Amino acid sequence: MIPGPFSYHRPATVADAVKLLSSLGEEARPLAGGHSLVPMMKLRLATPEHLVDLHGVAALKGISRSGNAIVIGAMATQHELLASDEIGQSLPILHEIALLIADPQVRYRGTIGGNVANGDPGNDMPALMMTLGASYRLEGASGARDVAATEFYQGAYFTALEPGELLTSISVPVPPAGHGYAYEKLKRKVGDYATAAAAVVLTMADGKVATCAIGLTNLSETPLLATDAAKAVIGTSLDPATLKKAAEAAVAIMSPAADARGPVEYRKHVGGIMVMRALSRAAACAK
Amino acid sequence: MNDMTPTREQREAKLEGMGCKRKRVEDIRFTQGRGNYVDDLKLPGMLHGDFVRSPHAHARVKSINGDEALKVPGVLAVITAETLKTVNLAWMPTLAGDVQMVLADGKVLFQNQEVAFVVATDRYAADDGINKVVVEYEPLPPLIDPFKAMDKDAPVLREDLAGKMTGAHGPRKHHNHIFEWTVGDKDLTDAAFKKADVTIKEMLSYHRTHPSPLETCQCVCSFDKIKGELSIWGTFQAPHVIRTVVALIAKIPEHKIHVISPDIGGGFGNKVGAYPGYICAAVASIVTGKPVKWVEDRIENLTATSFARDYHMTTEIAATKEGKVTGLRVHVLADHGAFDACADPSKWPAGFFNIVTGSYDFPTAHLSVDGVYTTKAPGGVAYRCSFRVTEAAYCIERGMDILAQKLGMDPAELRLKNFIKAEQFPYHSALGWEYDSGDYHTAMRKMMETVDYAGLRKEQAEKRAAFKRGETREIMGLGVSFFTEIVGAGPSKNCDILGIAMFDSCEIRMHPTGAGIARVGSKSQGQGHETTWAQIIATEIGIPADDIMIEEGNTDTAPYGLGTYGSRSTPVAGAAIAMAARKIKAKAQMIAAYKLEVHEGDLEWDIDGFRVKGLPEKSMSMKDICWAAYNSVPPGMEPGLEAVSYYDPPNMTYPFGAYICVMNIDVDTGVYKVRRFYALDDCGTRINPMIIEGQVHGGLTEAFAIAMGQEIRYDDDGNVVTGSFMDFFMPTAVETPHWETDFTVTPSPHHPIGAKGVGESPNVGGVPAFSNAVNDAFSFLGSTHIQMPHDFWRNWKAAKNLGVFA
C-alpha cells in the first residue's frame, strides 16, 4: 500500500497543465481529488511517473449559470456542489446523487471532474450526466472541444480524452421547471459502488409522461442511457405494465459483471427494479 | 456530626467502585489523538521491513532472486527461508501444536503467503525493493473446498508432514487431515436417535471471516548486541506468552527479552498468535543491529493473518414428539487453511466447541471434529468469542429453530421446554462441562415480555397472509437466540498454552499517601481495563478508583499473565485483582487494629476503612492506613502495603443471554431491514454498566456484520475475493441497527466478585439471532435452512429458489 516514486507538478493555469500533460506524455496523470488514482497508485496498479496536481488552477473551480446551462468547473468538489444554491434550485438531482457519494470526508476532496473523467463504471455522476444531456469541455495542446457525455465513454476507464487532454468543465442544460427526478441506488453500504442504480429525469403533462431520460450506473462497462426504456414510458401514466415493460427494455441493454455484489442475474434483476422505482418516484415529484 | 461529614452514600459514590457507570479514563487520551500505538514508535536508526507475498494459492517456489532489489537505494537486506535456516527459524511452532513456515520454504500454500522480507531505511524503499524481488513459481493445484480435502486424489499440501500419520492431537487419516477430536457417548447417543420420535439433520456452515481490528498487526524489534537483549513492541493480546515463545524458539534467555504491548487498537483474537512479521523483524534486527519496524496493511491483515470460523457442522437433534430433546449429534469439518495455527488452549483442538449442547438439558450427545488443510490462510482464532463458542452457539441455536419448525412448535416455546432449570445448577453437561450458574427461564421470559413476543408472532402471521394474497413483497422474521457462553480460560486442570497454565495475575502497590498502582497480566485492546480494574480495587479496599493507576502490557513490570481474549480478563484477571486487593485489606486490618488498639476481630469494614464494632466513631480510613503502613506497622510486621495474586480459576464461567431480532426482507431485492434488536445479557456481577453496554453494542455490530455479509471468500483458483474493505463487509453507523440492551444478574458462585465476562456474549448470541431471523422469514415458504452470510443477493437468491418469482 505504498506508491512508487513519482514527480509532482502544480501548475497555476489550464494552459500550463495542458502543456505539462502533453510534454510529459503517457507517464503523466492529472491529479484531482485522488480518490481513484491514489488507491491505484498505492496498490501499484497505476505507476505514473508524473502527477500534475490541478488544485492550483483557479480557473477549474466554480459553478455558474450561462444561459440555459449550468457550467461546473472540473475541480468543483462534491461538497461544493452540495453547498451551491444554484445547483439545488436548477439541478436538484445532482444534490441527491452527491449525497450518495461516500461520506463528508470524501466529498470535501472528491471532484466532479475526476468523477466523470475517469471512466470508472462504478461512479454515479457519468450516468446522470448522460441523463441530463451534459457535455464536457476538453482542452488540449491543439485547443478546446466539447464532447457530449453520451459520446464520451468508450469502455471501462476508456474515454474520448486524447493523450494530453484535460476535462476542464461540464455544461449541464437546466431541465424544465417542475421536472421530476430520482436516483435509485442499491448498494451494500455507505461508500460502496452501486450494485445497480438508475437515474430518471422526466416531465409530466396531464398525468402522462411527456419527456423522459433514464441513465444506468455500474450495469455495464460504461454508463448507459436506456433510450428504449425511456421511449416505452412516454405518453403513459406509468401503470404497472408500463413500468415492467420499461424495466425489461432497460435490462436488455445491461451487461454487468459478477462480483461480490452479486451474480449477473441478480444485478440485472435489481437494475430493472431500480428503473421502476426511479420512474415512480420521479413521476411523484414532478409538478 | 457537622454538615461537612459525608454521608455513607457520598463516601460510596466517591469511590466510583463496582456498579458505577464510571467514564473510561483511557478515553481522555484516545479522544485527543494521544494514544501510544506501535506505529507511533520511532527509534533512532529504525529500519522498515515488508513482505514479498505469493500471488498463488499453491505453487512450488523454484527460485528467489533479490539482486535487483538490493540495488534499490535504501534497501539493505532481502531475507528468505534460506537466511532463516541459518538461525533455525524458517519454520515456527503454532499454538495448536503444528509448525508453520515463516517464509516460503520450497512452496507456498496460500495466496499472500510471506515469501521474502525486504529490509530498508524507509517504507517506500522497502516497497520499491519488494517489486524488484524476482520469484519463480511453478503453480500447483489449489484446494479450496474443505469437503474435497480428504479425497483420494486431493493434492498433497504439507510435504513436510510426509509419513507423519500422527499429529499433535492423535492419528491423521489422510495427507490433508490434521486431527479428529471426539467427545461424548456415541453408543448412548446412537440409541437416543434410534428411539426418537422426531429427528432433524442439517449441514450448517459458519463461513470463514476475519476479526479485522482497526489497527492491523505490527511490531518494532530492537536487538541490543552489547547487552544481548531483544526488545519487542507489538500488538500482542498476550505479551508474556510472546516473550516465552520467543525465548523458546530464538534461544534468547527470557529475562533478556522485553515484550511491550502499548495501546492496542482492537484485537478480537487477531492479535493472539505469532506471525512471520514478528520473527522476520526480530531476525532483521539481530542481523542489522538496528531497530526494525513491521506494519501490516489492511489487505495483508485480511488475507494473511488469522481468520476466524470456517466450520461446517452437520447437526442432528433427536426429540420426543412433545418437543423434549433426547440427543445431539454433531460432526464438524473444520477448515484450518495451510497450517493449524488455531489459537486454542493446547489440549483443545476444536476449542470449547463441546459447549454445543448450549442452554438445553440434553441427556446425551456426541461430537466429532475433523480438521483439514486447504490452500487458505492459517488461523482459526476466537473472533470476539471464547474458543469456537460462536460456532457452537450457531450450531445449536439454528438446530433448535429447525427442530421447532419440524415439530410445528414455536421456537421460543421449544427452548423454554428444554432449558436447564435454575435448580439444576451446577449442571453437568453431556459433553463434560460443569455450568456454574444460570436462570434461563427468567431471562427468556423477560425478553419475551419486553418485546411482546406474542404480538410480534401475530403481526408476522398477518404479514404472511398478506404476502400470500400478493399485497406485499415484504416478509418478516423473528430471530430468537438463547446462548450459553463458556469463558474464563481457564482452570489449570484443563487449560494451558504451550504448557503454561492459564492463570492470571495482579500486583498492587499502595503508596504512603493512599494512592496506588496495580499491574495486571491481562492486556486491554479497547476493553477499558484501566477503568474497570480500578473499580474492583476501589470497592475492595475503599480507595477511590481515580487514585489507582492500572498498568498492563510491559512484561518487565507486569506479573506473568496469559493475556486478554476469550472473555477471560474479568473471570481470571478480575479475580486475581480482587484476591490481591483482599490481601492488601487483610494487612490493612492488622495495621488498623494496632493503631486503634483493638483486636483485629473487633474491626468491621465500612466502605473506605475499618471501624470498631459498636464504636463507629473509632475508625481508620484506608488512606490513613496506607500512611501508617510506611511508618508504624505492628512489631514484627514488614512495612509497606503490597500484594500479588496469581489466580487459577476453579471453573469456567458461563454467561448467557436472550436475544431477539425482528427483521423485514424485501424479496424483490433481498434488502433487509432490522426493525428491532433486543439483547438481554446475564454476565453475573456487573462492574461498569456503561462499559458493558458499549461491549454489547460492539459485539452486536460485529455479529450483524458476520451474519449479514462479512466473509473471507476464495475463488476456485484460491484468490481471496474479499481482501479489502471494498468487499469485506465492515458496516458503518449508517448500516448498523439500533441496539436495545437489558440484563438479569446471576452471579458466578465460584468467582470472588461473582462476575462472568461479557465482551464476547453479543457476538456469540448475535449471529444466530440474525440468521434465525432470516431463516424464520423464509420458513413459511418451505425453506429449512439458508446458509450465511445473508447479504442482499443471497436473500434474493433464496426467495427465487423458493419460487417467489414464479
pLDDT for A153-204, tens place per residue? 999 999 999 999 999 999 999 999 999 999 999 999 999 999 999 999 999 9
Backbone angles phi, psi at B244, to 5 degrees: -65, -40
**Which residue in B12, B114, B552, B760 is the catalytic one?**
B760
Q: Nearest CA of chain A to the CA of B140: how many Å?
A: 25
Beta strands A50-53; A7-9: pairing state:
parallel
Task: Identify the CA nearest to B146 among candidates B386, B322, B364, B309.
Answer: B309
Model confidence at B345: pLDDT above 80: yes
Nearest-angstrom CA–CA distance, B583 and B799: 62
Instruction: Provide the 8-state DSSP code for B628.
Output: H
**For residues B594 and B631, is the Cβ–Cβ distance under 8 A?**
no
Cell of A209: 409522461
Cell of B713: 471468500
DSSP three-state, residue B616: strand
**Which residue in B100, B218, B237, B695 is the catalytic one?**
B237
Contacts of B601 (CB under 8 A, 6+ apart): none
**For residues A99 and A138, is the Cβ–Cβ distance under 8 A?**
no
Nearest-angstrom CA–CA distance, A26 and A47: 11
Task: Identify the CA nearest to B273 among candidates B229, B230, B235, B302.
Answer: B235
**Which residue in B24, B172, B384, B398 is the catalytic one?**
B384
Model confidence at B806: pLDDT above 80: no
Class of domain A7-52: alpha beta
Model confidence at B765: pLDDT above 60: yes
Lookup result for grid cell 510426509: B162
**For residues B564 and B525, is the Cβ–Cβ distance under 8 A?**
yes
DSSP three-state, residue B230: strand
In chain A, which residue's Cα lies nearest the Cα of B794? Answer: A262
Q: Over the stretch A247-284, which tens digit does the pLDDT of each residue have?
A: 999 999 999 999 999 999 999 999 999 999 999 999 99
Cell of A89: 434550485
Report the pLDDT value the prediction gives residue B805, as an integer from 0 to 100. Answer: 87
Does B793 contact A4 at a Cβ distance shorter than 8 Å?
A: no
Q: Is B522 on the interface with A (CB under 8 A)?
A: no
Closest partner residue to A188 (CB to CB) among B123, B297, B729 is: B729
Mean pLDDT of B243-263: 94
Class of residue B21 by CB neighbours under 10 A (exposed 0-12, middle 13-18, buried 19+):
exposed
Alpha helices in B426-518 (DSSP H): 440-451, 453-468
Report the pLDDT value the prediction gives residue B343, as an integer from 0 to 100. Answer: 87
Q: Hey, which residues 296-335 in chain B have their CB within 8 Å of chain A?
A: 297-299
Cell of A55: 488544485
B760 counts as catalytic: yes
Closest partner residue to B128 (CB to CB) among A4, A191, A261 is: A4
Which sequence spans correspond to the domains of chain A? 7-52, 62-173, 180-285
Mean pLDDT of B109-124: 98
Report the pLDDT value the prediction gives residue B3, as an integer from 0 to 100. Answer: 63
Instruction: Provide the 8-state DSSP code for B547.
Output: G
Nearest-angstrom CA–CA distance, B710 and A187: 15
Does B709 contact A188 at a Cβ distance shorter than 8 Å?
A: yes
Q: Over the stretch A44-100, which tens digit does the pLDDT of each residue have?
A: 999 999 999 999 999 999 999 999 999 999 999 999 999 999 999 999 999 999 999
DSSP three-state, residue A184: strand
What average pLDDT does chain B have? 97
Helices B389-407 and B761-779: angle between axes, nearest 10 degrees:
30
Nearest-angstrom CA–CA distance, B533 and B761: 20
Model confidence at B4: pLDDT above 90: no
What homologous superfamily does CATH list for A180-285? CO dehydrogenase flavoprotein, C-terminal domain (3.30.390.50)
Q: Over the stretch B159-213, which tens digit does the pLDDT of each residue have?
A: 999 999 999 999 999 999 999 999 999 999 999 999 999 999 999 999 999 999 9
Q: Is A6 on the interface with B (CB under 8 A)?
A: no
B237 counts as catalytic: yes
Report DSSP letters for B366-428, one per residue.
Answer: EEEEEEE--SS--EEE-TTSSTTHHHHHHHHHHHHHHHHHHHT--HHHHHHHHBPPGGG-SEE
Mean pLDDT of B277-290: 96
List the single best residue of B669, B710, B724 to mutate versus A (max A Cβ within 10 A): B669
Q: Nearest CA of chain B to the CA of A271: how many Å?
A: 10
Closest partner residue to A261 (CB to CB) among B126, B299, B793 is: B793
Helices B622-629 and B574-596: angle between axes, nearest 10 degrees:
80
Q: Nearest CA of chain A to the CA of B39: how many Å?
A: 15
Nearest-angstrom CA–CA distance, A27 and A152: 22
Instruction: Provide the 8-state DSSP code for B570.
Output: I
Does A260 contact B297 at a Cβ distance shorter than 8 Å?
A: no
* Identity of the residue numbered B17: G
Beta strands A135-140; A143-148: pairing state:
antiparallel
pTM (2 d.p.): 0.97
Model confidence at B2: pLDDT above 90: no
Task: Identify the CA nearest to B157 among candidates B378, B481, B480, B440.
Answer: B378
Q: Nearest CA of chain B to the CA of A92: how many Å?
A: 23
Does B792 contact A191 at a Cβ distance shorter than 8 Å?
A: no
Reported ipTM: the value is 0.96
The CATH code that applies to domain A62-173 is 3.30.465.10
Cell of B436: 456454574
Q: Is B668 on the interface with A (CB under 8 A)?
A: yes
Paired residues of B199 in beta bridges = B318
Give the angle B342-B344-B345 at the CA atoms, nearest 5°: 145
How many Cα atoms occupy the beta-carbon half-sphere of B179 within 13 Å?
20
Task: Identify the CA nearest to A134 among candidates A165, A112, A163, A102.
Answer: A112
Model confidence at B440: pLDDT above 80: yes
Class of residue B133 by CB neighbours under 10 A (exposed 0-12, middle 13-18, buried 19+):
buried
- Provide the sign of the torsion angle of the four alpha carbons B504, B510, B511, B516, taken in this order: positive
Q: Over the stretch B514-549, which tens digit does the pLDDT of each residue have?
A: 999 999 999 999 999 999 999 999 999 999 999 999
Mean pLDDT of B716-743: 96
Report the pLDDT value the prediction gives residue A45, as an integer from 0 to 100. Answer: 92
Nearest-angstrom CA–CA distance, B507 and B558: 8
Nearest-angstrom CA–CA distance, B269 and B263: 16
Contacts of B734 in chain A (CB under 8 A): 189-190
Q: Hey, which residues 40-99 in chain A have their CB within 8 Å of chain B?
A: 44
Mean pLDDT check: name the lowest of A57-61, B9-13, B245-249: B245-249
Lookup result for grid cell 499429529: B167
Q: Over the stretch B56-93, which tens digit does the pLDDT of each residue have?
A: 999 999 999 999 999 999 999 999 999 999 999 999 99
CA dist B708 → A267, B55, B630, B735, B793 (Å): 18, 29, 59, 11, 11
Helix (H) or strand (E) holding B245: helix B239-250
Report the pLDDT value the prediction gives residue B35, as an integer from 0 to 100. Answer: 96
What average pLDDT does chain A have? 96
B384 counts as catalytic: yes
Instruction: Provide the 8-state DSSP code for A103.
Output: -
Mean pLDDT of B498-519: 96
Task: Identify the CA nearest to B277 among candidates B119, B510, B490, B443.
Answer: B119
Beta strands A28-31; A50-53: pairing state:
parallel
Nearest-angstrom CA–CA distance, B104 and B136: 12
Report the pLDDT value the prediction gives residue B804, as an integer from 0 to 100. Answer: 92
Q: Nearest CA of chain A to the CA of B88: how many Å?
A: 31
Report the pLDDT value the prediction gives residue A146, as an integer from 0 to 100. Answer: 98
